[in-house]
């Protein structure tokens, strides 16, 4: 191992130095120190290659000091322009904010201008009306009418009237249902206006809805009682435009022939006869209730009943009149000529 050292300032290149060593000692290699027969030729090739590199390196001139100063000036100018660009960006952002503020202010000023315009028109209208006694009188009349209407549409008063009307209808329905074929004729009725149904309260205070009570005879009794009670309420108040008649279609259908059809064929004839009498009595209660209702309302209401029950059921009841019997000869409720 050896160290190659070329002193600075000698002006001697490496290739020249190697060639000089080779000429002084032809048998010893200046690189490894061994003796080679062909060392001179190999060394010459190496020196030629090094000389080529040295020539190329010599072409590269040292950067002059003026270039360094110019580069520094350019860097300083770049820094200055960068700072100036940042300042311009900040100014743009500030101006954009001011523009938005001005736009908002302009929008607010437009609203103020419109408000002032409406106010001016209102003042002019007020001045014009204030000098017109006829308009003042009309305004007073309108205010008076509004006061009257407020009393009519007062929510508290409306609720009071609704409750009073319901209590009256429930009271009348209780009186009517006591004469019909209901299982609990003496229990008070409550009409639920929101659900359009009724509750029946027992002595302990329990309320049973109509669908919980069951039985077609109960449903029929309460429907008839409520229909008659509502009609009486309407007719006693002449300002309510409700037709003064009611129509019932076959109310006896609840009792016969359905109940007889449900009886076992093994039942005795006497049991069937008793059942028929019970059903007949229940239907008679319906017509008797309708007759009493007509008398109590002093014939303000007309009741039409379309019924299959024979005359032996209702024939002896007061205020019941046969209008038409649609049996035989192809006579029906709807005349044939209407169909044709």
- Domain boundary assignment for the chain: 14-54, 69-140, 155-242, 243-340
Which pLDDT score, from 0 to 100, does residue 63 have? 60
Check pLDDT > 90 for residue 10.
no
**Can you give 114-176 as a three-state secondary structure string?**
HHHHHHHHHHHHHHHHHCCHHHHHHHHHHHHHHHHHHHHCCHHHHHHHHHHHHHHHHHHHHHH
- Average pLDDT of span 266-293: 73
Residue 219: the pLDDT is 92
Distance, CA of 9 to CA of 3 (rounded, Å): 19
Q: What is the pLDDT of residue 248?
A: 93
Q: What confidence tens digit (pLDDT) does each residue in 148-164 have?
A: 887 777 778 888 889 99
| Measured distance CA(15)–CA(18) in Å, rounded | 5
Q: 132-141, 173-182, 325-334: which has the minimum mean pLDDT? A: 325-334
- The pLDDT > 70 percentage for the chain reads 76
Express each pLDDT in 27-50 by its tens digit: 566 556 666 666 677 777 788 888
pTM to 2 decimal places? 0.51
In the block, tokens 């008793």 appear at 274
Distance CA 11, CA 164 (A): 132
The pLDDT tens digits of the residues spanning 232-246 come to 998 888 777 888 889
pLDDT at 176: 93
pLDDT of residue 95: 78
* Alpha-helix residue ranges (DSSP H) falling in the chain: 14-24, 39-59, 65-130, 133-152, 155-177, 210-213, 216-235, 258-262, 269-296, 311-314, 336-339
């Amino acid at each position: 191992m050896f160290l190659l050292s070329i002193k600075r300032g000698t002006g001697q290149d490496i290739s020249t130095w190697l060639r000089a060593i080779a000429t002084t000692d032809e048998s010893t290699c200046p690189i490894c120190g061994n003796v080679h027969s062909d060392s001179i030729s190999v060394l010459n090739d190496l020196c030629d290659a090094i000389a080529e590199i040295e020539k190329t390196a010599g072409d590269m001139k040292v950067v002059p000091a003026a270039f360094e100063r110019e580069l520094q000036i350019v860097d300083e100018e770049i820094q200055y322009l960068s700072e100036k660009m940042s300042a311009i960006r900040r100014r743009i952002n500030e101006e954009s904010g001011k523009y938005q503020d001005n736009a908002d202010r302009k929008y607010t000023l437009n609203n103020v201008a419109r408000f002032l315009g409406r106010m001016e028109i209102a003042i002019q209208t007020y001045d014009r009306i204030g000098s017109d006694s006829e308009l003042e009188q009309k305004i007073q009349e309108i205010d008076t009418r509004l006061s009257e209407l407020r009393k009519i549409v007062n929510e508290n008063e409306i609720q009071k009237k609704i409750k009073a009307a319901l209590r009256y209808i429930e009271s009348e329905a209780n009186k009517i249902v006591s004469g019909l074929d209901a299982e609990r004729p003496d229990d008070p009725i409550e009409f639920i206006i929101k659900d359009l149904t009724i509750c029946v309260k027992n002595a302990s205070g329990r309320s049973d809805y109509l669908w919980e009570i069951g039985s077609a005879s109960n449903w029929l009794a309460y429907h008839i009682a409520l229909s008659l009670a509502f009609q009486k309420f309407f007719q006693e108040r002449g300002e309510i435009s409700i037709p003064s008649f009611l129509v019932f279609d076959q109310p006896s259908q609840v009792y016969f022939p359905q109940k007889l059809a449900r009886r076992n064929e093994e039942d005795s004839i006497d049991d069937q006869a008793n059942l028929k009498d019970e059903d007949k009595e229940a239907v008679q209660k319906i017509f008797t209730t309708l007759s009493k209702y007509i008398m109590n309302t002093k014939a303000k209401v007309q009741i039409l009943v379309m019924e299959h029950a024979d005359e032996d059921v209702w024939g002896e009841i007061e205020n019941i009149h046969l209008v038409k019997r649609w049996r035989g000869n192809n006579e029906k409720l709807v005349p044939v000529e209407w169909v044709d």
